[in-house]
Amino acid sequence: MTKKVIVITGASSGIGEATAKRLASEGNQLVLGARRAEKLQAIVQDIQAAGGEATYIVTDVAKLADVQALADHAIKTYGRLDVWMNNAGLMPQSQFIQGKIDDWNRMIDVNLRGVLNGIKAALPTMRAQKSGQFINISSVAGHATHSGGGVYSATKAGVLMISEALRAEEAAAESNVRVTVVSPGAIATELTDSITDAATKAGTEKFYNAFAIAPERVADTIAFAVNQAPDTAINEFVIRPSKQVM
Ligand code: NDP
């Protein structure tokens, strides 16, 4: 199998970390972005110790200049961009009456604007190469919502819509740029740490403790999409714990 240059945002924990390690173990070249340098450095060391290739650059996906620097770093280090995984995200859920506008804005900036920044930074290179793949992380919360989940769901539904339009545009352009959107259910990561409302956090953690599955399950799914023949695009996955109802 040919090595791919794979960029992952939000690679310092959870789904991003598990996917980076999985794809590096298959011989790909990984470029990791997130804000916590020490975490990224430790993950790169783990990958290298296991015989893999990886590099990182501190990246805030809400800042286009950072995201462009991440793309530039990948191209400078490894010469091309084969896969761009828009994964960075946070989920500070709460009810609207609480008026947590800072949380709402952070979700829009990271979960939505971060994805657009990734597309802006990576798509021109993929078009020029006439090959590439976006892996955009949505959520089951992008397909349905509930009390307290309005803004998070709006950002994740936005990721679904952005992904579908990007898919259609690239298919029409015959650019060989594939788009895969992944909608996970409850996955055991640091995501619940981002919840600022104490009652919502306690309730969500209780649910996650009972139901959540390992992020490696999502990594397996992503590896399956990445490893398809170039003429085949898997456009969407929904992956939940077997016993998760909603
Ligand atoms: P984690 O909290 O473990 O990981 C989130 C990652 O995003 C971290 O690496 C964090 O790194 C990074 N991140 C947060 N803000 C920024 C930013 N401004 N710039 C760059 N990186 C940032 O949670 P998950 O692994 O669960 O989350 C990954 C994705 O999966 C998210 O989009 C989430 O919404 C989605 N998802 C998760 C589900 C779950 O149940 N866990 C279910 C459905 C979807 P750092 O703090 O170092 O910047």
Say what the pLDDT of residue 2 is.
79
Residue 57's pLDDT band (cuts 50, 70, 90): very high
- Whether ligand 1 lies within 6 angstroms of the CB of 62 is answered as yes
- Whether ligand 1 lies within 6 angstroms of the CB of 137 is answered as yes
Q: Which CATH superfamily is domain 5-239 in?
A: NAD(P)-binding Rossmann-like Domain (3.40.50.720)
Answer yes or no: 152 catalytic.
Answer: yes
Taking the domains of the chain in order of start, what are their residue ranges?
A: 5-239
Residue 131's pLDDT band (cuts 50, 70, 90): very high
Tens-digit pLDDT profile for residues 19-52: 999 999 999 999 999 999 999 999 999 999 999 9
Q: Which residue's C-alpha comes closest to atom 17 of ligand 1?
A: 60
Tens-digit pLDDT profile for residues 188-240: 999 999 999 999 999 999 999 999 999 999 999 999 999 999 999 999 999 99
* Cα 14 to middle of ligand 1, angstroms: 7
Count Cβ atoms below 10 Å from residue 58 Cβ, excluding itself.
16
Tokens of 66: 């950072």
Q: Which residue's C-alpha comes closest to atom 32 of ligand 1?
A: 89
Does the pLDDT of residue 137 top 70, yes or no? Answer: yes
* Cα 104 to middle of ligand 1, angstroms: 15
Tokens of 200: 């919502």
Say what the pLDDT of residue 246 is.
82
Tens-digit pLDDT profile for residues 141-194: 999 999 999 999 999 999 999 999 999 999 999 999 999 999 999 999 999 999
- Whether ligand 1 lies within 6 angstroms of the CB of 139 is answered as yes
* Reduced 3-state DSSP string for 83-114: EEEECCCCCCCCCHHHCCHHHHHHHHHHHHHH
User: Which member of 56, 78, 152, 208 is catalytic?
Assistant: 152
* Cα 174 to middle of ligand 1, angstroms: 32
* Cα 178 to middle of ligand 1, angstroms: 22
* CA-to-CA dists, residue 118 to 71, 72, 163, angstroms: 8, 12, 12
Residue 128's pLDDT band (cuts 50, 70, 90): very high
Does the pLDDT of residue 71 top 80, yes or no? Answer: yes
159 vs 138: CA distance, rounded Å? 6
Does the pLDDT of residue 1 top 60, yes or no? Answer: no
- Whether ligand 1 lies within 6 angstroms of the CB of 219 is answered as no
